[in-house]
Structure formats: structure tokens, C-alpha cells
Structure 1
């Protein structure tokens, strides 16, 4: 099975060339300003892609998805699996998605480090095969040129505990790539570099 994964497209999704695959994952920041027109434009594009399964989580720029989190059925097409602290089983893989990032609350889906965000990670089932988050775990593909390691410490603790096979994320444009640690393959899918140029590419994982 081939998994295609992207993140942090920030309204430039139309400029991407998406390869074929069985599952297509977007790890958040589909928009720049988080407005409804931006979100709808992305969703229409995403829903028309030919992949059998399409999974989406939100990111810290996607304000509309946070503000109207309980009333999104009118804009999210039926062929998109939108995960927000929720899971789904596809192709015998147990998949969980969460949009939250550590922060001071000025962005969408922001929670303070420590106890506040830990509550979200505690929702992740123990038997999760594929984890999708917007934030990286602390110390793994999370180095920003400005702030160094900005991933989530509490998320790292949870991953050490549950040991998923795959962890897809984005958020940090400067640290695109893949890294295997123990039983888990970590994939930072941010398609843009730190100057918001679409040069990082699209991630492909065969499982």
C-alpha cells in the first residue's frame, strides 16, 4: 500500500503534483488566513483527487475549522475523512488524527505545553498504527531556524508509550524529511520551506 502525505500547503495546493497512491493524508495548514473561502477551495480540490482514501486534519492556520468545529458537514465532502481527536480504520490500519500544537492561544488549535495539551494526547488509543498530528514530537524533525526545537514534549512521551508504526506531521517548514526511530517512521510533510516556497516535495511511504 502506498501512502501519499502533504502538509502546510497554505493555499498553494493547486500548484502541487500529487502522485498516485492508496491513501492521501494532509497534516494541516491547508489555508493561510483560515477563512471559509480558503478552506472550501482546498476541500473542493482535495475531494476531486483520485486516491481511494483521503484524510485531513487541521493546523494552526485553519481558524474556520476550529470556530465551526461542530458544524462542518455542510462544507466537508463525503469522500474526505476529517479527523479531529478522532480515528478511523482503513486498509486494516488504525489511524488517529489531532490538530493541536503547543502555543499561547493566538493561533487555531493552540494549547499550552504541559497538562493542557497532554489531555489531547491521552485520547490517542494505545493500538494506533498511524498517527497524524500537525505538530512534530519534540526533538524529531522539529528544528526551526528561528526557534530550534519547537515540537511537543508531551506528544513525544505518548509516542514512546504507544509506538505507532507511522507518525505523519508538518508545521515546521525547515525540517522536512523522514526518520526511523525504533518501531516508528516519522515523516515531516511540510511541502514549503521556511521562505514558503514549494520545494520540499511530496512524501511517499510504501507499507
Structure 2
């Protein structure tokens, strides 16, 4: 999915599950993958994804872990060592790129506690793997994440995880919620 924001093009997708090389590629300013690049911690799929993603034609590359990146949960140091220098792993922090503020909290499924991320600026894009409760979630979204999104009011909340609602969006108040899952069972 391509989003035009502040004169920048942003490509964003999630849930490729080892099929990333089947995606059509468009040169953009920023590319974001919102998790489940592999299936069930498959390191062959994940290292192939990192090779492919590091060569994606974009100035900035952001990655947020999904529930299938079990490597991050089981061995975080080893997981981070896999990343080429040109890919930014974003979790529980914010970053400003090209004047656009991105923030990510670890909502791979449901958050176990309210996020404790310091946000000094308005969030343009909140990036998570899973959706908030009641928004394109097939009744599987996170209620704590919904409270967090309501509080910070990002311009966009981008997520995946729920394959059936992939490619859809919903505007609620001042936030556009987008499920960018590309995997279709």
C-alpha cells in the first residue's frame, strides 16, 4: 500500500509470511514492514526477507516485529544482529524521518500493559503489528492499544495481523486506521 504524506511516498505492508519476493516494488521515500515477514520463526525466510528488504529502493526502511518473529521474543540480541545497518528496527520508541514522526509499541497480539513510550511530538504514524479493539479486527484487537490510540490521536495507525481485513481502512475521528496485511489465505 502506498501512502502520500507531507510530499513523501511511504510503502507499507505486513504479513508477507515468506512471500515478500512476490510483491511489486515501487521506489519510495520510506518503506515499512509491520511484522510476520516469516512464518513461525523460520530463519531461512527471515534472513531472505532481510536481504530483500535491505535492497528495497527507499531511503529509509522500518521494521516492526510481528507474532511470527518469535526470534525477537526468544533471543532478542541474536535477532537484532541479523539486521543490516540500513534497516531500522522500531519498537517501543519513536523516530522522526523526513519531518514525519513514527512511533511503535509492541502490539504483536494484545498488549499486557499500557505502553510507556515517551512522545515529545505529535505522532503522524503509529506502527503496530496488531489492531486495536473494534477497528478492522474481527473481534481480536487489543483493548489497551485502543485506549493508547485514543489518547495520542495519531494521523494514521497502521497495522496488519488480521489477514481477512487486509487492504482496508477506516477513518475514526482524526485518525485513519489501515490494515496493510498482504497475506491472503
Task: Decide: shared fold, TM above 0.5.
Answer: yes
Alignment check: 8 A CA contact 2:63 2:89 kept: yes
Q: Structure with the greater relative contact order (CA < 8 A, sep ≥ 6): 1 or 2?
A: 1
| 2:113 aligned partner | 117
Please tell me whether residue 188 in structure 1 is matched to residue 179 in structure 2: yes
1:38 alignment counterpart: 45
* Structure 2 residue corresponding to 1:152, chosen from 142, 154, 159: 142
Matched, 1:132 2:123: no
Taking the aligned partners of 1:62 and 1:132, their CA distance within structure 2 comes to: 16
Bigger mean CA deviation after superposition, 65-74 or 134-143 = 65-74
Aligned-pair CA distance for 1:86: 2.0
Alpha-carbon offset, residue 91 of structure 1: 1.0
Query: How many residue pairs were aligned?
Result: 176
Q: 2:152 aligns with which of 139, 156, 162?
A: 162
In the alignment, does 2:87 pair up with 1:92?
Answer: no
TM-score (norm 2): 0.88
User: Per-residue displacement from partner, 1:101-156 (whole Å, max 9, x unpaired)?
Assistant: 345xxxxxxx5xxxx232xx23262632211000101111112xxxxx10111111
CA contact (8 A) 2:65 2:108 kept: no
Q: Which segments of 5 or more consecutive residues in structure 2 lack a partner in the other structure?
A: 1-7
Q: In the alignment, what sits opposite 1:2?
A: 9
Residue 32 of structure 1 deviates from its aligned partner by 0.5
Cα 1:151–1:97, aligned 2, differ >3 Å: closer, same or farther?
Answer: same
**Do 1:122 and 1:158's aligned partners in 2 also have CA atoms closer than 8 Å?**
no
The verdict on how the C-alpha distance between 1:65 and 1:2 changes in structure 2, with shifts beyond 3 A counting, is: same
Q: CA deviation at 1:49?
A: 0.8
Q: 1:22, CA displacement in angstroms?
A: 1.2
Question: Structure 1: any 5+ residue segments left out of the alignment?
Answer: 104-110, 144-148, 196-207
TM-score (norm 1): 0.79
Residues 1:173 and 2:163 are matched in the alignment: yes
Cα distance in 2 between the residues matched to 1:81 and 1:73: 10
